[in-house]
C-alpha cells in the first residue's frame, strides 16, 4: 500500500516520504514538516491517536486520516482530534488526490509544484495495525 501511495503522489509531482507508523510519522513531521500528512491509521491505538493529536494540535499542516473503519465513532474521533479529512478505504486514487489537492489549495500551497519549482512534501504514514 505504501509503495502505491508513494508512486501515486510522485507521479503527480509531489515529494512523498513514507514511514511505517504513527510514532515515526510524528518524528519525521517534527524533523522536516511536510505540507500535508496522510495518516493511514487505526485510531484505536494509542500511538496513532497520539500522533494525530500532536500533529493537529501543534501545526496548521493538514492531516488526512485514511482508515478501513468508517464507523461514526471513528470518523468523529479523527475529525474531533483535528484531522482535515477522514477517508475510508477502499477509495479511488483520483478521489484521494482531489482531497489532497483541495486541502493544499486551502492551505495556500499550489498542487504539484510550488513557487520556485520545489515539489509539495507529503508525509505518508502507514500503521501496521491499520
Across residues 103-114, what is the average pLDDT?
61
pTM, 2 dp = 0.83
Q: How many CA atoms lie within 13 A of 130 on its CB side?
A: 27
- Name the one residue in this structure whose C-alpha cell is 483535528: 82
Would you place residue 116 in the very low, low, confident or very high pLDDT band (cuts 50, 70, 90)? very low
SS3 label, residue 19: strand
Q: Where are the domains of the chain?
A: 2-126
Q: Tens of pLDDT along 28-57?
A: 888 988 989 998 877 667 777 888 888 888
Match domain 2-126 to its CATH number in 3.40.50.2300, 3.30.1490.20, 1.10.287.3510, 3.90.1150.10: 3.40.50.2300
Amino acid at each position: 500500500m505504501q509503495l502505491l501511495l508513494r508512486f501515486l503522489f510522485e507521479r503527480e509531482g509531489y515529494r512523498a516520504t513514507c514511514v511505517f507508523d504513527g510514532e515515526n510519522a510524528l518524528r519525521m513531521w517534527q524533523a522536516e514538516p511536510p505540507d500535508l500528512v496522510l495518516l493511514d491509521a487505526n485510531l484505536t491505538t494509542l500511538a496513532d491517536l497520539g500522533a494525530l493529536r500532536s500533529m493537529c494540535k501543534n501545526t496548521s499542516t493538514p492531516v488526512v486520516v485514511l482508515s478501513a473503519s468508517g464507523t461514526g465513532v471513528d470518523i468523529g474521533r479523527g475529525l474531533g482530534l483535528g484531522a482535515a479529512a477522514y477517508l475510508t478505504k477502499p477509495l479511488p486514487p483520483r478521489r484521494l488526490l482531489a482531497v489532497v489537492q483541495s486541502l493544499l489549495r486551502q492551505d495556500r500551497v499550489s498542487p504539484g509544484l510550488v513557487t520556485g519549482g520545489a515539489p509539495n512534501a507529503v508525509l505518508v504514514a502507514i500503521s501496521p495495525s491499520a
